[in-house]
Amino acid sequence: MNFERSEEQSIMVDTARRVGEAFGLDYWRDLDAKKEYPAAFWQEVCNAGLCGVAVPEEFGGSGLGMTEMAMVVETLCAAGGGSTLSQMFMLNPIFGGITLSKFGTPAMKNELLPALVEGRVNFCMALTEPDAGTNTLAMKTFAREDGAGWRIDGQKIWITAVPQARKMLVVARTKRAEDVERKTDGISMFLIDVERAGLVHRPIEKAGTNTLPSSLVFFENVRVEPEELVGTLHRGWRELLDVLNTERIVTTSGLVGTAELAVKLAVDYAKDRKVFGGPIGAYQSLQFPLGEAFIELECARLMNHKAAALYDQGKPYSSEANMAKWLAGKAAGLATDRAIQTLGGMGYSKEYHVERLWRDARLFRVAPVSEEMILNYVVQHDLGMPRSY
């Protein structure tokens, strides 16, 4: 790995920092309180060319890779947005950009990738189900053949930013689980309009990530046209994993940026706050936990950049992406918790921002993949131990 940024990468990071700082912490605190979608922020991200980092140049993007996307997300999150901001990159550059670039039809690419880059279309992905959870292969949402197309029936849960999306990437079974030899067979992806007969969604009340709503989604006899199939019919599982593993990289980037911001806020406060005649930042009981958090976030950053570099080189990267996500969840959890402890009572105040970072970051120890499932993956694929589930 080359740890020196190229000139292009440096320009991109500087641009991300400028965009992030132009909005700043107060912007995100106010939107969190209003539970309001950050539309103005996202449009500025698109205007600055940051949304299209990994989109091919022929469709208006920069034609770069996951390494550059990781750098951009880290920087934007550290500038004030925190981990909730990373979800916007999951939704659009990943569920939209990566999916279409790798598996979309020429017509899909021509229509939607330029619109994605310019901020004219938003995406969401309907994958998780109430009765399946992490066991994606147990999904019950089914797309039955209907002439040349399909009809979808089923239910999804914890689907992000449905009201703001125009397009939804739907993962469904196109063959029943009992009718396939391998349970990974018979799964397909479709890209459909959110505004469509039979598709209904309703919000879920939650503790954090308030700037992006989460929804229950119901499909009742929803028509899907032949040209809305993404990737390979009945063979979408492997293609889906490529999407989900790049989602891991973006999630980790957001957590690294969050941890970086939390440590900075804590350090700045500890240098300024004086108790018993001196700054509290001189106390090792505050220094050491922040030092540990900083070490953990840097290790997560390095592993994530390794995963991104492997992806960009066309090499296997699943283990690295999963391990980075595990590390980053722990690092962000520690950093935000220790930031609150450093600020004392003021850490619980919305005025100082760290409580929002703490609330939002906690989600990502269970989503988009839980720590336990990551450990299951690592011990099976990297240590060669028996499958436990």
Tens of pLDDT, residue by residue over 191-215, are 999 999 999 999 999 999 999 999 9
Q: Is the dihedral of CA 256, 258, 259, 263 positive or negative?
A: positive
Tens-place pLDDT, residues 159-196:
999 999 999 999 999 999 999 999 999 999 999 999 99
Tens-place pLDDT, residues 128-153:
999 998 899 999 999 999 999 999 99
Helix ranges, the chain (H):
7-34, 39-47, 66-76, 83-89, 99-103, 106-118, 237-272, 284-312, 318-343, 354-363, 371-381
Pick from 282, 271, 258: nearest CA to 335? 258
Q: What percent of the chain has pLDDT over 70?
A: 100
Q: Would you give the end-to-end CA distance of the chain in angstroms?
A: 35
Ordered by where they begin, the domains of the chain are 7-122 (1.10.540.10), 124-234 (2.40.110.10), 238-381 (1.20.140.10)
Contact indicator for 80, 20 with CB cutoff of 8 Å: yes
Distance (Å, rounded) from C-alpha 362 to C-alpha 379?
24
The residues near 263 (Cβ < 8 Å, ≥ 6 apart) are 290, 293, 294, 297, 335, 338, 339
The pLDDT score that the predictor gives to residue 134 is 86
The DSSP symbol for 235 reads: B
Please provide the average confidence, as pLDDT, over all residues in the chain. 97
Contact indicator for 229, 189 with CB cutoff of 8 Å: yes
Distance (Å, rounded) from C-alpha 72 to C-alpha 12?
7
* 3, pLDDT greater than 90: no
DSSP bridge partners of 167: 123, 193
Question: Degrees (nearest 5) of the Cα angle 303, 307, 310?
Answer: 135
